[in-house]
Amino acid sequence: MEAKKLVILGSVNADHILNVAHFPLPGETISGNQFQMVFGGKGANQAVAAGRCGANISFLACLGNDDIGKKAKTQLMTDNIDTNSIELIDDVATGVALIFVNQQGENVIGIHAGANGRLDTSYVQRYGNIIKEADALLMQLESPLDSVLKAAEIAKQENVQVILNPAPAQALPDELLSLVDIITPNETETEYLTGIKVIDDESAQLAADVLHHKGIKTVLITLGSRGVWVSEKNNKGCIVPAFKVKAVDTIAAGDTFNGALITALLEGQSMMPAIKFAHAAAAIAVTRAGAQPSVPWRHEVDAFLASSL
């Protein structure tokens, strides 16, 4: 039997990563100790995580028709991703992310959307049949918001499960939130969406209840090294602890979690085992540098889980 179909709609960036002792202050110039350019973007990172974990996945995205865009598309093809719907745009550059990583593995990021901004509603409509034929649609917020809404509307009409990773943080209309089945915000994004600062289990549940009231069945608030607060509508939530590892950097950790989580759910795993699988994938990712280079393959995740029993 063919594996259930996942569609990811989202961004692709060329990540320029500089490792520094500390983040620069305004007006300060600092020297980095390592630089690399690798492919990233939240959509692409999540697609790579799903592809490497074994998902049957198509990726909806726009790249510049430039050397970087062509190389990025070729790279995605090697990660078990159907790239037929990725468009190369002539008059715009591939998206760029400028990233500082400090000695604690924390990062700050600035993004230029570039070709990601061309993923407009007309693009979504052109590839609407891919969404309609899927079992699940995973999206983030580095694409135009009206396109995210249009894709969610198409999915909902066909009873396709909609998963939203609401990052980068921003306020969202209830019109969109009402179409979401699973949402995966971090603490900052949760506060943007609910007005509630997540500082403990009680505040996490209060925030989850606000999102449930907006129509979302399943809320997963990612809490970094603490783990994930998971709440199903009409049930009391709980925390699922993360695995303890020494982080090199946290770039793409959340994206890896999301891609791995949806892959496990589409394979028929229930929520708790799926979260543990996603935790394992993210734990491996933070022990490696960069975005997509840090994303593990399925056999690595399975081995990590087996060693953790």
> Is 31 annotated as belonging to a binding site?
no
What does the pLDDT look like over 240-269, one tens digit per residue?
A: 999 999 988 887 899 999 999 999 999 999
Catalytic residues: 255
d(CA 239, CA 241): 6
> Is 200 annotated as belonging to a binding site?
no
Q: Can you give the pLDDT at residue 286?
A: 93
Helix (H) or strand (E) segment spanning residue 232: strand 227-232
> Is 41 annotated as belonging to a binding site?
yes
Helices (H) and strands (E) in the chain, counts: 11, 15
Q: Can you give the pLDDT at residue 63?
A: 98
Could you tell me which of 291, 296, 190 has the C-alpha nearest to residue 243?
296
Q: Can you give the pLDDT at residue 178?
A: 98
Q: Can you give the pLDDT at residue 143?
A: 96
> Is 255 annotated as belonging to a binding site?
yes
Q: Can you give the pLDDT at residue 1?
A: 63
> Is 122 annotated as belonging to a binding site?
no
Q: Can you give the pLDDT at residue 309?
A: 78
Could you tell me which of 91, 78, 96 has the C-alpha nearest to residue 40?
96
Mean pLDDT in each 10-residue stretch from start to end of the chain (309 residues)?
Answer: 91 93 95 91 96 98 96 96 97 94 86 95 98 98 97 98 96 97 97 96 97 98 94 94 89 93 98 98 91 92 93
